Amino acid sequence: MTRIGLLTSGGDCQSLNATLRGVAKSLYRIYDNLELIGFEDGYKGLIHGQFRLMKPSDFSGILTIGGTILGTSRQPFKLMKVHDEDGFDRVEAMKVTYHKLGLSCLVILGGNGSQKTANLLSREGLNIVSLPKTIDNDLWGTDMTFGFQSAVDVATNAIDGIHTTAASHGRVFIVEVMGHKAGWLTVHAGIAGGADIILIPEIPYHIDNVVRAINERTQQGKRFSILAVAEGAISAEEASLSKKGLKEKKNAAVVYPSVAYELGAQITELTGHEVRVTVPGHTQRGGAPCPYDRVVATRLGAYAAGLIKQKTYGCMVCVTSGDIAHVPLGEIAGKLKTVDPKSQLIKEAKMVGISFGDE
Ligand code: F6P
């Protein structure tokens, strides 16, 4: 009998279930005598031995359903190696669960922090195959993460929905897009939604340039402007400060709920325009996976099963130039893939007149 563990870790996204299905359906076809163990709520389930025996029927009908049938949670990597006051050792606990269950392999679906823990467990001698999940698309070693395209769809729909009301009222609108410290989601949704200004963490903005871009549109007779602003967008002034300096500045200033509101107040003050802010927030992680994600998820899942069959462990499945491949966890864990300000993507966006607030 072969017993394989599955867990989904970190923030959820639309195609976790589609990926689990891809892995499970392929594994059930490969092994005659297979038990799949589903850990509850990510690494938490592995740490505390909370799991259930999955049935093939658990993976039916879930291709189009967002979220994760296993549940998930954030278990920060930096706390993994820290023992509790009572001496509880999470890494040891995870190893004990793995060995007690006699797992041949553990399949981990997760983003940046989760890949770091996957690498740690691999180094501790567990057989690990991981898959690249996140709406942020910020995982090193893969061109694409599953969940990203579905989130682009949601964020784009949010921008699309703003156009008519922005035009009717002649207002400036800011749509704040998720993405943590990376601007992938904002750039893609911004271009797809026809945003006039896109602000991302990788390209610190000057408020004067943002104001100029808005004023130029007004002078051209355009009644409205739409900004797609990443939740991690930062001004050039703030980017030049040390971590401590930035904290001091934030503490001394008026407290805004997020960057979009702060920017909105500045734009109103400097242009006299009425500004409205829309934050789609966690809706960007919700709903059904888009068809592209369903295909990627299925392919990544099937490929992961193939790796397990070959006993190729300690790696993350990835997308590279349209093909599915794998990379050693040690090469990718802890590295962030951010938008290159000099990339073709940004150059082309600028060519059609999108301002990134940097010039
Ligand atoms: O990593 C996915 C993500 O949605 C980020 O874009 C965002 O910064 C973060 O998770 C939000 O985390 P939480 O769901 O814990 O609030």
What's the gap in Å between 118 CA and the centre of ligand 1? 19
What's the gap in Å between 186 CA and the centre of ligand 1? 14
Q: Which atom of ligand 1 is nearest to the CA of 138?
A: 1
> Using a 6 Å cutoff on CB, does residue 180 contact ligand 1?
yes
131 bridge partner residues: 109
**Residue 252: per-residue pLDDT:** 77
For 216, the token pair is 């130029």
Longest alpha-carbon distance in the chain:
72
Q: Which atom of ligand 1 is nearest to the CA of 135?
A: 2
Of 322, 210, 294, 325, the closest CA to residue 16 belongs to 294
**Residue 249: per-residue pLDDT:** 80
Q: Please, what are the domains in the chain?
A: 2-134+142-147+289-332 (3.40.50.450), 148-285 (3.40.50.460)
C-alpha 321: how far from its chain's center? Answer: 20
CA dihedral 161, 164, 166, 168 (to 10 degrees): -150
Spatial contact of 190 and 198, defined as CB atoms under 8 Å apart: yes
What's the gap in Å between 102 CA and the centre of ligand 1? 33
**Residue 247: per-residue pLDDT:** 84
Please give the positions annotated as active site: 136
What's the gap in Å between 150 CA and the centre of ligand 1? 15
> Using a 6 Å cutoff on CB, does residue 232 contact ligand 1?
no
**Residue 72: per-residue pLDDT:** 98
What's the gap in Å between 236 CA and the centre of ligand 1? 24
Strands 275-278 and 172-177: parallel
**Residue 333: per-residue pLDDT:** 97
> Using a 6 Å cutoff on CB, does residue 133 contact ligand 1?
no
**Residue 245: per-residue pLDDT:** 86
**Residue 192: per-residue pLDDT:** 98
Pocket test residue of 137, 178, 231 for ligand 1, highest count of atoms within 8 A of CB: 178
Spatial contact of 26 and 302, defined as CB atoms under 8 Å apart: yes
Pocket test residue of 136, 145, 258, 279 for ligand 1, highest count of atoms within 8 A of CB: 136
C-alpha 179: how far from its chain's center? Answer: 6
C-alpha 333: how far from its chain's center? Answer: 15
pLDDT by residue, tens only, the chain of 359 residues: 999 999 999 999 999 999 999 999 999 999 999 999 999 999 999 999 999 999 999 999 999 999 999 999 999 999 998 998 899 999 999 999 999 999 999 999 999 999 999 999 999 999 999 999 999 999 999 999 999 999 999 999 999 999 999 999 999 999 999 999 999 999 999 999 999 999 999 999 999 999 999 999 999 999 999 999 999 999 999 999 988 888 888 787 778 999 999 999 999 999 999 999 999 999 999 999 999 999 999 999 999 999 999 999 999 999 999 999 999 999 999 999 999 999 999 999 999 999 999 99
**Residue 182: per-residue pLDDT:** 98
pTM: 0.96
